Structure formats: C-alpha cells, structure tokens
Structure 1
Amino acid sequence: MAGPGRAEIEVEALDAMLKGGQPVAILDVREPWEVDLCSIDGSITIPLGQLPRHAAGLPTDRPLVGVCHHGFRSAQAVSWLRFQGFDRAVNLAGGIDAWARRIDPTMKVY
C-alpha cells in the first residue's frame, strides 16, 4: 500500500498478490455496462449506488480491493466501507484503466 494511513494499493501490488495466490477480494463498483466492457476475473460487482444494501455480504477475512474506472468512485466506496468497519478495504490506484494499461494490455480500455 502507498504511504502510511493511505487506503490504496498499486496495480502491480495487486497483480503480485493475485499471482502469489494471496487471498484477496476485488469489489468492482462500476455500472453494469462498464463491467460488460472489461473486468478483473473473479471480481464481486456491486454498483456504487447499491453498495450500502449489499455491504453486509462482503468478505472481511481478507483484503478487499475497490475498483472503478479511474479510482474515484472506488475511493468513495473504500472510504465508506472503512467507516463501516471494513478495515482491510483499499482502493486500486488508477482503477481498471491503470490495470489495463500496466498489467493486462489485452483488456479493453474505455
């Protein structure tokens, strides 16, 4: 994670966690049409506006990485989740766009 107290993770660190088999949950808060364009395999998809209704079902036993297009909506989601007690929630810096550009060049960019 970047910096003390910052609830953020870089795409390279998430990639290393996934490749290393570390338990991690990815929460994609984009709209369904965005998820249809591209997504990280295994993501839990809950649009930001529906998060309060579905947060209770999210895992608390491992890091929870919030993802959106560029990281702004997911930063809001992570802030709210941390306020709700999800201490392991972190935001993916740069969002799915950074993931596509730096980790998975086969992923659609929009």
Structure 2
Amino acid sequence: MATFQNLTVDQVKAKIDSGESFRLIDVREPGEHAVAHIEGAELLPLSRANDWIGDLTDDSELVIFCHHGGRSAQVASFLAARRGFTRVANMVGGIDEWSQRIDPTIARY
C-alpha cells in the first residue's frame, strides 16, 4: 500500500527557503484561512474535496496542511493509497505549529 511522508514545519520551511518546487496545499476552511494562512499556500477546503481532488496531479510534490495535521493526513493518505501518488506529504502540526515555530506573526486559534 502506498504511503505518504510526514514533514515537520522546519522541514517544510527549509524546502521553501531552498527554493524547492512543490505545491503547499491548505485543506482548512475559508473562515480558518481568513484568520491565519501561510503566504503562497493554495486553499483547497476539505469540505469541497469532491470538486478539486480529481484535478490534482502527481507531477509535482504536494505538501498538505490543516490546523493541526489530522485533516491533511487524511487527504495525504487518500492521495497515496487511492490515487497512487508517490510525492505527497503531510505537514505535521499544521499551521498551529507553524505559527509557534516558524512565524509567530500568524494568529493562533
């Protein structure tokens, strides 16, 4: 069974800083995104996954996050196990940990 990778917020920040090419996907809801978001991340709400999940491709690495990492792990697991994606990762700790460790200007909720 295909699996996904777990990345820490520090690992994701290092990927951004080094200029690696990947898609950073936020699966939280629009209201959550309005409170706190990571610059450059794409908002694809989990509640509307049926609208966008079929459009994702495996041609670039996908790093998925949510508030703490639970919803994003579900999406990463689905993409790896059901769609056969090989370059998909879950950002453990989500935006909450990002705001604590990487960018304290991002609001916590």
Q: Please say whether Structure 1 and Structure 2 have the same fold, judged by a TM-score greater than 0.5.
A: yes
Q: Which residue is 1:103 aligned to?
A: 102
Letter in 1 for 2:62: L
- Equivalences for residues 1-110 of structure 1 within 5 A: 7-82=5-80, 83-110=82-109
Letter in 2 for 1:46: L
Aligned-residue sequence identity (percent) comes to 40
SS in 2 for 1:25: strand
Q: CA deviation at 1:78?
A: 0.6
Q: Deviations over 1:13-54 (max 9, x none)?
A: 100000100001111110100001111111111111222321
Runs of 4+ in 1 over 2 A off after TM superposition: 56-62
SS in 2 for 1:80: helix
Work out which structure has the larger RCO, using CA pairs closer than 8 Å and 6 or more positions apart in sequence.
2
Unaligned runs of 5+ in 2: none
> So what's the TM-score if we normalise by structure 1?
0.88
Q: CA deviation at 1:6?
A: 5.5
Letter in 1 for 2:105: T
Q: CA deviation at 1:59?
A: 4.3
RMSD of equivalent CA atoms = 1.4
